[in-house]
Amino acid sequence: MADKIRVAVAGAAGRMGRAAVRAVAAAPDMTLAAALGRERGVGQDAGTVAGTAPLGVTLTAELADILDAKPDVLIEFSPGAAAAEHARVAIPAGVRPVIGATGIGQQDLDGLAALCGAKRVGAVVAPNFAVGAILMIEFARQAARHFPNVEIIELHHDRKRDAPSGTALRTAAVVAAARGSAPAPAVKEEETITGARGGRAEGIRVHSVRLPGLAAHQEVIFGGPGQTLVIRHDSVSEESFMPGLMLAARKVRSLTGLVYGLEKLLEL
């Protein structure tokens, strides 16, 4: 059997990071090389923190410890600014980042893409690793050519900091590109409560809901004469993101630049 892929996980004490540690531990072609955490779990076995059997990897707070472990891939679920900074350090060392953090600005993305190109090191940045969510966006792209009137509702748990979600913003960009010019409004709208009609992304209304009991959900609602079309995706646990994340961790090793969006790896 070929050597296993050595994977490091940053943000390993968070919900997504713990799920990533479990997925790596369960993958027959991967081994957990290192784990990075900042606020809790430091000094404990990363497997114990993630809820698996001990894996013999101590959760550390130092990025240098991650690089010393010589991973092939860095799965990154730290907050956006930290994720970008970690990637800027990892890429010159030949470590390929797979970033699922939101809140990374275009300037950081452009800088990482340039760094990947210069070093010929692959990287993947994806707003969403759930394969079903990627298919939702693709189906919405197809529908937008026939239903230009559209709004997006995204619903997440009450611990999510950013609104709207990265997936909603990505959906809006894809749908806007597919439909072309936005249709003229039927009436001149008046909001009696500011924000009642949501915000706008790429000219598309986006509504964000944050409540306990939710995980990650999105509806893309299209309207036309006498009919509506609703395309919805629901993630009910972090496990929904793991097949796409593992796919990215495997494919990133063959890349020589930055790829944005899991759909590029699914060849949609």
Based on C-alpha coordinates, what's the Rg of the chain?
Answer: 20
- pLDDT per residue over 53-64, tens digit each? 999 999 999 999
pTM of the predicted structure, to 2 decimals: 0.87
Which one is predicted more confidently, 33 or 79? 33
Here the tokens at position 119 are 């070093």
pLDDT at 146 over 90: yes
**Mean of pLDDT over the chain:** 94
Describe the strand order of the beta sheet including 258-260 as a list of residue ranges: 59-60, 30-36, 5-10, 73-76, 96-99, 123-125, 258-260
Give the contacts of 196 (CB within 8 A, at least 6 positions apart): none
Here the tokens at position 125 are 């940045």
127 labelled as ligand-binding? yes
203 labelled as ligand-binding? no
DSSP 3-state of 216: strand
Q: How many CA atoms lie within 13 A of 171 on its CB side?
A: 33
Q: Give the integer Cα–Cα distance in Å for 47 and 53.
A: 6
160 tagged catalytic: yes
Candidates 4, 119, 160, 264; catalytic one: 160
Residues 132, 243 contacting (CB under 8 angstroms): no
pLDDT at 1 over 90: no
Quote the DSSP letter at residue 151.
E
Give residue 158's pLDDT: 95
Give residue 2's pLDDT: 66
171 labelled as ligand-binding? no
165 CB neighbour count, 10 Å cutoff: 23
Residues 46, 20 contacting (CB under 8 angstroms): no
Domains annotated on the chain, with CATH:
5-125+239-266 (3.40.50.720), 131-236 (3.30.360.10)
Kindly report which listed range (77-86, 112-121, 215-224) carries the lowest average pLDDT score.
Answer: 77-86
- pLDDT per residue over 119-142, tens digit each? 999 999 998 999 999 999 999 999
pLDDT at 162 over 90: no
Which one is predicted more confidently, 39 or 48? 48
14 labelled as ligand-binding? yes
pLDDT band, very low/low/confident/very high, at 227 (cuts 50, 70, 90): very high
156 tagged catalytic: yes
Q: Give the integer Cα–Cα distance in Å for 160 and 4.
A: 34
Residues 261, 167 contacting (CB under 8 angstroms): no
Give residue 118's pLDDT: 96
Give residue 200's pLDDT: 96
Give residue 38's pLDDT: 78
pLDDT at 250 over 60: yes
pLDDT band, very low/low/confident/very high, at 101 (cuts 50, 70, 90): confident
Candidates 156, 207, 217, 251; catalytic one: 156
Q: Give the integer Cα–Cα distance in Å for 40 and 38.
A: 6
Partners of residue 208 on adjacent β-strands = 154
Give the contacts of 101 (CB within 8 A, at least 6 positions apart): 11, 76, 77, 78, 79, 80, 82, 83
Q: Give the integer Cα–Cα distance in Å for 19 and 17.
A: 5
